[in-house]
Amino acid sequence: MSKIFIVEDDPSIRAELTELLQNSGYETDCVTDFSRTAETILASDPDLILLDINIPYINGEEVLRTIRQKTDTPVIMVTSRTSETDEVLSMSFGADDYITKPYNPTILLLRISAILKRSVKNVQTQTYRGLEVNDAKGSLIGNGKECVLTKNEMIIFRLMLDNMGQIVNRDDLMTALWDNDEFVNDNALTVNISRLRSKLTDMGCEDAIETRKKQGYILT
Amino acid sequence: MNTGRFIRDRLPAMFIRAAAVLIIILFMYSYRVSYGLIIAVMIVAAAAEAVTLIIDYLKRKPFYDTLENSLEKLDKKYLLSEMISCPDFYEGSELYEALSESNKSMCENVAEYRRSAEDFREFIELWVHEIKLPIASLLLMAHNNKSEISEKMHTQLRRIDGYTDQVLYYARSENAEKDYIIKEVQLKRIVSAAAIKNKEDLLLNSVQLNISELDFTVRTDSKWLEYIISQFMANSMKYRSPDREPEIDISAEKTADSVVLKFRDNGIGIPESDMPYIFGKSFTGENGRTHNKSTGMGLYIVHNLCQRLGHRVEAESVQGEFTEFRIIFGNNSFLDLTEL
């Protein structure tokens, strides 16, 4: 389980963010004494840091610089500022990504999982019911067969696989697709899901995707 | 300097002096002073008068000439006192001092207003950043506690977020020289970002978004361009046609010296009579009256931003059929921008 460190001075956002990340299966840690932000982060040794730019005592950019001297842990800068300057600055200090408040929670989760996937070395190939999921080729391999998924189907399958056993609603699927420049509409999503279903059935996985009325889909 | 008026001003004094000289001559005549002496006195008096007049005239002429000239040429007339130097005759120096004094006081006054406007703008910016915190918090709460109501709240929160952004962009667009970073950006990336930002609304309105031929780089500020495109999208949804499925086509085209971004929807269009005014401040037009309420600020801000970024924005529309906005990014926009 990956550990995410939250640096956020607004207690309400901090609590909600913790809940959001824990619901998505991450371990979290946070700082409440901002006079020792950088030390606390380093002591906690997280896999990823969500760093707010506007924090008390020192600003986030300085924290980032201090951390960068010691470790290569990926950092996502979070801010309510919307000027390009901050983006350019934090990237130059070595942030891995940048997101502005108020962010879309789904997009935040997508960014986090994308960065974690990039940073974790020796990724174990993920399997689903004995099928090997090959992200690079965009295909499922197993039972002596290989089935190529389209880009859209792969994005959908990925998101469901990352949230295995939990309901993924249509909106989250849509966000994931749009985040990858696939501006599908409601009907296209339905079509993509039914195609994915039949491909999974072809590979020997019957009833893999369950529909929960008015809530979304669930991969079992 | 008007010579006639200068002499006319001095006529009464000259008359009095002439009268005095006349009286002196009468006295001299009655004391039987020789004619030669009388004539000499007359000549001396006349010469003295003429020399005084000429000296006076020459002293004033340069000062009044600069004054008139500067006043005519200056496009900021209040800078007049900076253009003239203190003359060495009494009325002139008095005038000069009064002018400098009143100018100084006006400058202070203007500076005070400028400061208070600046303070207000800073406060607004700060406020927008502050308000984003509770919005972010509420968005997370809605996401963490999913239900039918939370979905609805989500939509409303996005609206609140949109409006606060508008305040921020307006506050900055008026005085935003410091807030531009012009760099090469991919049109496709910006359009995608704008689409994702408006995803909920676009899906809610079941808009078919078609994006094509966007593989161009332009020089612009990505945040501002994203805002401009979001504004177009918001308008397309606001003024969608009731008889057909809404569609938005975004494409780009490269011409010899520019890249043109085209944003076209199949909405209700804009009446021809309103077309010349759509970019004006607070203009709402027929659509604004008959459809949703409109602030008349959206396209004004767009126009303002485009001007500052050095882009051109054009609109074309056929009522009841379509509206197309075009943003023209000049290839040499870098040169134009140096003039800002």
To which residue do tokens 């309400």 refer? A12
**Residue bearing the bigger pLDDT, B58 or A206:** B58
Q: Looking at residues B110-131, what average pLDDT do you find?
A: 88
pLDDT single digits (tens) B298-329: 888 889 888 888 889 999 999 888 999 999 98
Q: Looking at residues A44-52, what average pLDDT do you find?
A: 88
> B181 vs A13: CB contact, 8 Å cut-off?
no
**DSSP state string for A133-199:** EETTTTEEEETTEEEEPPHHHHHHHHHHHHTTTSEE-HHHHHHHHHHTT----HHHHHHHHHHHHHH
As a CATH number, domain B181-339 is 3.30.565.10
Probe site for chain B from A6, A9, A16 (most B CB atoms < 10 A): A16
Per-residue pLDDT band for A164 (boundaries 50, 70, 90) equals: confident
Q: Looking at residues B52-66, what average pLDDT do you find?
A: 90
State the nearest Cα–Cα gap between A175 and chain B, in angstroms. 7
What amino acid occupies position B289? R
- Quote the pLDDT of residue B16: 94
State the nearest Cα–Cα gap between B284 and chain A, in angstroms. 28
- Quote the pLDDT of residue A90: 62
- Quote the pLDDT of residue A39: 85
Prediction pTM value:
0.65
Per-residue pLDDT band for A122 (boundaries 50, 70, 90) equals: very low
d(CA B46, CA B27): 18
Paired sense of beta strands B208-211 and B247-255, if any: parallel
Q: Looking at residues B211-228, what average pLDDT do you find?
A: 85
B338, pLDDT greater than 50: no
- Quote the pLDDT of residue B292: 64
Per-residue pLDDT band for B129 (boundaries 50, 70, 90) equals: confident
pLDDT single digits (tens) B67-104: 888 888 888 888 888 888 888 888 889 999 998 999 99
Per-residue pLDDT band for B293 (boundaries 50, 70, 90) equals: low
Burial of A124 (0-12, 13-18, 19+ CB in 10 A): exposed
A14, pLDDT greater than 80: yes
**Residue bearing the bigger pLDDT, A17 or B147:** A17
Per-residue pLDDT band for B1 (boundaries 50, 70, 90) equals: confident
Helix (H) or strand (E) holding B90: helix B90-144
| Residue ranges of domains in chain B | 3-106, 115-173, 181-339
B340, pLDDT greater than 50: no
- Quote the pLDDT of residue A159: 86
Vertex B302, ends B297 and B306: CA angle to 5°? 150
Q: Looking at residues A123-149, what average pLDDT do you find?
A: 78
* Cα Rg of chain A (Å, integer): 19
pLDDT single digits (tens) B135-184: 989 989 988 887 778 878 888 888 888 888 888 877 776 665 556 777 78
- Quote the pLDDT of residue B176: 55
Probe site for chain B from A107, A183, A185, A213 (most B CB atoms < 10 A): A183
State the nearest Cα–Cα gap between B297 and chain A, in angstroms. 20
What backbone phi and psi angles, to 5 degrees, belong to B323?
A: -135, 135
- Nearest-by-CA chain B residue for A83: B179
Q: Out of A144-148, B124-128, B180-184, B324-328, pick the least confident.
A: B180-184
A81, pLDDT greater than 80: no
To which residue do tokens 């009841």 refer? B320
**DSSP state string for B100-135:** HHHHHHHHHHHHHHHHHHHHHHHHHHHHHHHHHHHH
% of chain B surpassing 90 pLDDT: 23
Asked if residue A102 has a cis previous peptide bond (ω within 30° of 0), the answer is yes
Under DSSP, is residue A220 helix (H, G, I), strand (E, B) or coil? Answer: coil
Which of these CATH numbers, 2.60.120.260, 1.10.10.60, 1.10.10.10, 3.40.190.120, describes A125-219?
1.10.10.10
Q: How many CB atoms lie within 10 A of CB A210?
A: 11
Torsion angle of the four alpha carbons B105, B86, B65, B15, in this order, in degrees rounded to the nearest 10 = 110
Whether B14 contacts B49, CB under 8 Å: yes
Q: Looking at residues A113-139, what average pLDDT do you find?
A: 74
A120, pLDDT greater than 80: no
What amino acid occupies position B86? C
Q: Is A82 on the interface with B (CB under 8 A)?
A: yes
| Residue ranges of domains in chain A | 3-118, 125-219
Probe site for chain A from B135, B137, B182 (most A CB atoms < 10 A): B137
B208, pLDDT greater than 90: no
State the nearest Cα–Cα gap between A51 and chain B, in angstroms. 15
- Quote the pLDDT of residue B339: 45
d(CA A172, CA A152): 13
pLDDT single digits (tens) B11-43: 999 999 999 999 999 999 899 888 899 899 899
- Nearest-by-CA chain A residue for B189: A181
> Could you tell me which residues come within 8 angstroms of residue A12 by beta carbon, excluding any fewer than 6 positions away?
B133, B134, B137
Per-residue pLDDT band for A40 (boundaries 50, 70, 90) equals: confident
Token pair in block for residue A130: 């004995």
- Quote the pLDDT of residue B118: 87
- Which residues of chain A have a CB within 8 Å of the CB of B161? 102
- Quote the pLDDT of residue A82: 54
Q: Out of A62-71, A121-130, A152-161, B247-256, pick the least confident.
A: A121-130
Q: Looking at residues A99-103, what average pLDDT do you find?
A: 79
- Which residues of chain B have a CB within 8 Å of the CB of A16? 137, 140-141, 144
Q: Is B313 on the interface with A (CB under 8 A)?
A: no
| Class of the CATH-defined domain A3-118 | alpha beta
